[in-house]
Chain A
């Protein structure tokens, strides 16, 4: 029997550092675009890359049961993958309100088309910035699908990013960058995350194209 960790085993510190840089560049540009859009300071936290079991992936986003708003985008082209922009429902509503400067909005339970389309647009801009930066950095042709939005449990949402990886490994490589809008008082306050899950065959492109 082959080792179930075979796929992730050849990821050493050098590879993980490249992926950390990938996450840093992508999320950095995405945060800048978010900051401009909301006219608000957005602080990035140190990007993390971890090789972990599937359950731990959910823990990194607050636990499988936690309710979040997520904008998901399939990446196509040289290095296919799945990207998630994850926000707490409160923060998503707050961002939309800031964008629309309108009456308070309620996401989810009561359909609010205006709020949803604003949030979709926010997701479009932010994940577009992530992808463009990623493509430029790694000199890859990357195209994105129109982002799709869902308000649901973390486990239900992020598991979609694990499907490709689960075909070759019992572990996932999580490229995560967290951010805060600076309103939280405590150091550990986090308002959202970017998660990038390249398809298994895509990693080699990041390593090949980066200066190693």
Chain B
């Protein structure tokens, strides 16, 4: 792994772009999902930290599009196109979508993690973008960092240690 010049940080409900040798990171994914779309050849990637499955869930218009699985993926692809990557060369890695608390009542909010994962995969399949690796579900929070040089997604958890996918 090369020494990164900068670690680009992506906040909650936000997205960002990275080019090697920089890396890109988002912290504290719970039920949220971190989506990485990357172009191995160009060593370019985009990352989104989505909170909700679809923009349709939004009760008001004009909200940040990076918050939703569907609009975030649309925008990531547009941004990567702008950086010179064609959609058919893009691959995806995913992490997150955990259920942090176990409640007896089956509130639909409790299932938001699995719903986020489903929505991400559905929207990626619309673009025929393959999911190369994923670390999703469970009940642990995740901090992830993607290195576009090696296409490795580093995942850190509090209770289960670190792994690379």
> Are A and B bound to each other?
yes
Residues of A within 8 A of B (CB): 1-4, 6-7, 53-55, 58, 63-65, 67, 72, 74, 76, 108-109, 145-146, 148-157, 159-160, 162-164, 166-170, 200
Nearest-neighbour CB distance to chain B for A90, whole angstroms, equals 14
Question: What are the residues of chain A within 8 A of B32 when measuring CB–CB?
Answer: 159
User: Number of B residues contacting the other chain (C-beta, 8 Å)?
Assistant: 38
Contact with A along B7-38 (1 / 0, CB 8 A): 00001111000000000000111111000000
Judging by beta carbons under 8 Å apart, are B59 and A168 in contact?
yes
Judging by beta carbons under 8 Å apart, are B30 and A72 in contact?
no
Residues of B within 8 A of A (CB): 11-14, 27-32, 51-52, 57-64, 67, 98, 100-105, 107, 109, 112, 139-143, 158-159
Judging by beta carbons under 8 Å apart, are B103 and A159 in contact?
no
Judging by beta carbons under 8 Å apart, are B64 and A4 in contact?
yes
Nearest-neighbour CB distance to chain B for A200, whole angstroms, equals 8
Judging by beta carbons under 8 Å apart, are A170 and B63 in contact?
yes
Judging by beta carbons under 8 Å apart, are B101 and A159 in contact?
no
Nearest-neighbour CB distance to chain B for A119, whole angstroms, equals 14
A173 to B151, CA, bound (A): 38
Question: What are the residues of chain A within 8 A of B140 when measuring CB–CB?
Answer: 152, 156
Question: Which of A74, A76, A109, A156 has the most chain B CB within a 10 Å cutoff?
Answer: A156
Question: What are the residues of chain B within 8 A of A7 when measuring CB–CB?
Answer: 60
Question: What are the residues of chain A within 8 A of B28 when measuring CB–CB?
Answer: 58, 64-65, 153-157, 159
Question: Which of B51, B67, B104 has the most chain A CB within a 10 Å cutoff?
Answer: B51
Judging by beta carbons under 8 Å apart, are B52 and A167 in contact?
yes
